[in-house]
Amino acid sequence: MLDASVVIPVLNDSSALIKTLPAVIAQIGSRRVEIIVVDNGSLDDSIQVAEHFGARVLREHLRRASPYSSRNRGIDVATGQVIILLDATCTPETGWFEAGMASLREKKATIVGGRVRFSFGSSKPTPAELFDSMVHVQMQESIEQHGCAMTANLFIHRDVFSRQGLFHEGIRSGEDLRWTKAAGQAGEVLVYCHEAVVRKPARCWPALRQKVTRTAGGAVSLLGPHRAVYEMTRNMLLPPNPLRTFSLVKAHYPAGTAALSWRVFLVSWRLRWVRASGMARALLGFSGRPRETGALASE
């Protein structure tokens, strides 16, 4: 059995793969590691880029736009003792692989979430980029305060999937939070590793709006219709807490707190309406039916 399998879902993101795959390869060296790229219906040259760098390429075109179904297909065929789930947009920094693997051993963990560090398109980040970098993929906070993690940068013992099953199929967003939370509640040991770092570009406004719309749909599946209606109404009627926004900016960017806080506050307020609209659309299509899971879950 190989030491590890790196599973990377991709959808129309060849420009990210060009950066991510060489960074992964540079850290493998002589270790027994395979790289599996699962295409989710790309129309660009993502498949060609993956093949150029020697990755094993799979296709998940039945459930398009579901990164969790794509991850399931990769996990199905992976032969590593450790499954590393990595987003195409997350480029590992030096020492990432060794730190994540060591954390599994030394902390006696079964799931390890590494740090996600954001980068910006210029020396003057936009308010949307700042918001994204402070609010999304905060791995340490998610793991240590909420007991869940994101699949952007996860190291998982292979046996965990045999015990807990795969991700629910066809989900677009939020399934990683549900799955890791349930795994932790079932006895898996989930820890944070500050040294296993990947770098991810912060989103500009159109991409941020798209993400919040998408995650709003995932929130409806996680919360259920009744709680989702409450959250949707709350987002529509109440503005963000300005003191919380100020504290958030101060914690992340203390040098520019006063100048940045009001700009980030306005972005946050706009996104509350975006989230409410996304939840409303998802509620209209909510069926309440349980989601199917991957192959390992039914064995």
Q: Measured between alpha carbons, how far is residue 290 from residues 65, 151, 171 in Å?
A: 19, 21, 11
pLDDT of amino acid 10: 97
- The pLDDT of residue 289 is above 70: no
The predicted pLDDT at position 277 comes to 93
What whole-number distance in Å separates Cα of residue 291 and Cα of residue 289? 6
Q: What angle do CA 249, 253, 257 make, to 5 degrees?
A: 60
Structure tokens at 6: 């790196």
pLDDT at position 298, please?
29
The whole-angstrom separation of Cα 120 and Cα 201 is 6
Lowest mean pLDDT, pick from 94-108, 125-139, 282-296: 282-296
Q: What is the DSSP letter of 254?
A: G
The least confident of 44-53, 87-96, 230-239 is 230-239
pLDDT of residue 42 exceeding 60, the answer is yes
**Mean pLDDT, rounded, of the chain:** 91
Reported as a pLDDT band with limits 50, 70 and 90, residue 13 is very high
The C-alpha atoms of residue 295 and residue 282 are separated, in whole angstroms, by 27
Q: What is the mean pLDDT of residues 45-69?
A: 94
| More confident call, 280 vs 256 | 280
Mean pLDDT of 228-252: 90
Q: Are 164 and 186 in contact (CB under 8 A)?
A: yes
d(CA 112, CA 68): 18
Instruction: Report, as an integer, the average pLDDT of 198-224.
Output: 88
Q: What is the pLDDT of residue 292?
A: 52
Residue identified by tokens 């730190």 is 99
What's the pTM value of the predicted model, to 2 decimals?
A: 0.86
The per-residue pLDDT for 225 is 85
Q: Do 142 and 111 contact (CB within 8 A), yes or no?
A: no
pLDDT at 53: 97
Q: What is the mean pLDDT of residues 235-247?
A: 90
Q: Is the pLDDT of residue 285 over 60?
A: yes
Rg (CA), the chain: 19
Q: Residue 155: pLDDT band by 50, 70, 90 thresholds?
A: very high
297: confidence class by pLDDT, cuts 50, 70, 90: very low
pLDDT class of 290 with cuts at 50, 70, 90:
very low
